[in-house]
Amino acid sequence: METIRTKCLIIGSGPAGYTAAIYTSRANLSPVMYVGHQPGGQLTTTTEIENFPGYHNGITGSEMMDDLHKQATRFGADVRNGIITEVDFSKRPFTAKADDGIEIVADTVIISTGATARYLGLSDEDKYKGLGVSACATCDGFFYRGKKVAVVGGGDTACEEALYLSNIAAKVYMIVRKDFLRASKVMQRRVFEKENIEVLFNTVTSGLFGEDGLEGATLTEFMGTDKEKTYSLPVDGFFLAIGHTPNTDLFKGQIALDEAGYIITEAHTSLTNVPGVFAAGDVADPRYRQAITAAGSGCKAALDAERYLTELG
Ligand SMILES: Cc1cc2nc3c(=O)[nH]c(=O)nc-3n(C[C@H](O)[C@H](O)[C@H](O)COP(=O)(O)OP(=O)(O)OC[C@H]3O[C@@H](n4cnc5c(N)ncnc54)[C@H](O)[C@@H]3O)c2cc1C
């Protein structure tokens, strides 16, 4: 097995990983980055990004990640195709194995493996991704100004997404499987007080339809024993708000995770419970989940890694 030595291993190539690569390479840490199964991260699955500062005309996700790649490699970041399959944080230097057969020995590790939005698993969801189906109201809500949208879910996040969209869209339907909202009382009150939000209880989505893009959802309402009604709800946007899964399986037992699997970091920093291992982006952020916040935390992780190495001497 070939072994490479680096001052900093970066796992993941979204905005967090690439920002960390730009900063660590400019700080002379000669970072090695593994891009994973989704080079460029989540943004490569979307078309237009309009809210990343600096791109005043908007930019496609793939173009933006391409720019970040060029910027990181310009300063010497060693960006490698491959997936990290194993890590050992129990002793220093840390070690990791990649699926290209290489072992990486690293003084610091920056984890930026992101989080994956949960979808319902409908066969049509993929077909309409970017054409009406979204898992991020903050990202895509603006495209539905004055239109009708649906939000799936009954927890705090779903209520937040519905409230956000209610300020943009003409009408927001919340599709809730149970006969109650799981959200906190205060969120429920805000939702019920909004005139343009209608909660459809006891309702599940069985399909999506539309010719050139999403035109609506097929819903089934359960109305008591053996009684159900299936109908079409015309909507332009269909937002999933049923949670995210942080990509942290690899780190279980190696690093402290919260109940949902997110990496726990020390307040306002990227520090994990293992000195020398840092976390950045959605993998440690159940709250904001934006490209700009991921990039910002990638910068923090790089600065934290650099400081850690300086203090080690
Ligand atoms: C459809 C869609 C549209 C969006 N639109 C916007 C928008 O308009 N504006 C906005 O600000 N945000 C948007 N977001 C959110 C934004 O994409 C995320 O907040 C951001 O990408 C998070 O960046 P990250 O670096 O933390 O992780 P990610 O972008 O999730 O990248 C994770 C990286 O980790 C890698 N990885 C995972 N496991 C391994 C492993 N074992 N080994 C090596 N690498 C690994 C993956 O390959 C990937 O490269 C959107 C998200 C989606 C899904």
Q: Which atom of ligand 1 approaches the CA of 117 most closely?
A: 53
pTM of the model: 0.92
Residues of the chain with pLDDT under 50: none
pLDDT digits (tens, 9 = 90+) for 199-242: 999 999 999 999 989 999 999 999 887 899 999 999 999 999 99
Rounded CA gap, 6 and 77, in Å?
Answer: 11
Q: Quote the pLDDT of residue 224.
A: 80
Write b or e for each residue in 200-228: b if 16 or more Cβ atoms lie within 10 A of its Cβ, otherwise e: bebbbbeebebeeebebbbbeeeeeeeee
Q: Which tokens belong to 267?
A: 């307040």
Q: Quote the pLDDT of residue 123.
A: 87
Residue 17 CB–ligand 1 contact under 6 Å: yes
Best of 118, 136, 245 to mutate for ligand 1, by most ligand atoms within 8 A of CB?
Answer: 136
Rounded CA gap, 201 and 89, in Å?
Answer: 46
Distance 45 CA to ligand 1 centre (A): 9
Q: Quote the pLDDT of residue 182.
A: 94
Q: How far apart are the first and last CA of the chain?
A: 30
Q: Atom 6 (ligand 1): residue with closest C-alpha?
A: 139
- Beta carbons within 8 Å of 313's beta carbon, 6+ residues apart: none
Q: Quote the pLDDT of residue 107.
A: 98
Q: Quote the pLDDT of residue 290.
A: 95
Q: Which atom of ligand 1 approaches the CA of 129 most closely?
A: 1
Q: Quote the pLDDT of residue 30.
A: 97
Q: Quote the pLDDT of residue 47.
A: 80
Residue 102 CB–ligand 1 contact under 6 Å: no
Residue 34 CB–ligand 1 contact under 6 Å: yes
DSSP 262: P
Query: Are 160 and 136 spatial neighbours (Cβ–Cβ below 8 Å)?
Result: no
Q: Which residues are catalytic?
A: 136, 139-140
Which residues partner with 95 through β-bridges?
88, 105
Distance 216 CA to ligand 1 centre (A): 27
Q: Which atom of ligand 1 approaches the CA of 18 most closely?
A: 25
Q: Which CA distances in Å does 102 have to 2, 41, 55, 126, 169?
A: 5, 22, 37, 34, 50
Rounded CA gap, 22 and 159, in Å?
Answer: 37
